[in-house]
Structure 1
Amino acid sequence: MHVILPDEQIHQIQLLIADLIKQEIEKRLNNSNLDSPFLNKQQACNYLGISNNTLDSWIKKGVPVIRVGKIVRFDKNELNRWLQNQ
């Protein structure tokens, strides 16, 4: 099947796609929120530049973790301090 659209509709579709991509990038950047002093596990991995398995290993070695019920957070200052002492 071959669909032929007028140039104006093609342009509108391109703008919509570009806007959706921009929104998704902004959403992901906001979710990474590395400006926060507290990081979730994925953010901590990104911050430290390590894999999830490496972080799990480091937790066993004493990386400071904040646990509230099932929620796990990492304080960036404590992570930095722990790394400097290793």
Structure 2
Amino acid sequence: MVDKNLKSIEKNYAVKSRYLNKKNACIYVDISEPTSEKWLVKGLPITKIDGTFRIDMQEIDKFMIETEYERRMKTSEKFISVCSIPFICFYFVISVNYFL
């Protein structure tokens, strides 16, 4: 019984290959399938290998780094546009750093 449970866990949660199907890619980064669909629309590369679509783990890592960079750049653009008044600028820096 224990051996059967261990095999089930391994089958469902182990990442065995660099190229993952969508389900294992979601497990790898702990996201839902609808979120993975959004990432694919935003440009996460997908590869067709032997008739099945796979997502490269390295591409997932790269995509996450790039989207984090873009998010931080958008935050800094908001910072620049708000900082015309010194007091507001000081308050905004504190509040933005609190959430990062």
Fold shared, TM-score > 0.5 on shorter chain: yes
- Give, as a single letter, the amino acid of the residue that structure 2 aligns with 1:32: Y
- Unpaired runs of at least 5, structure 2: 68-100
Cα distance in 2, alignment partners of residues 70 and 61 from structure 1: 23
Tell me what 1:32 maps to: 13
Tell me what 1:43 maps to: 24
Q: TM-score, normalised by structure 2?
A: 0.57
- Number of aligned residue pairs: give it: 67
Off by >6 Å, runs of 4+ in structure 1: none
Higher helix share: 2
Alpha-carbon RMSD across the aligned residues, in angstroms, is 1.9
Cα distance in 1, alignment partners of residues 51 and 9 from structure 2: 23
Structure ranking higher on relative contact order (CA contacts 8 Å, 6+ apart): 1
Q: TM-score, normalised by structure 1?
A: 0.65
Shift of residue 31 of structure 1?
4.5
Is 1:55–2:32 an aligned residue pair? no
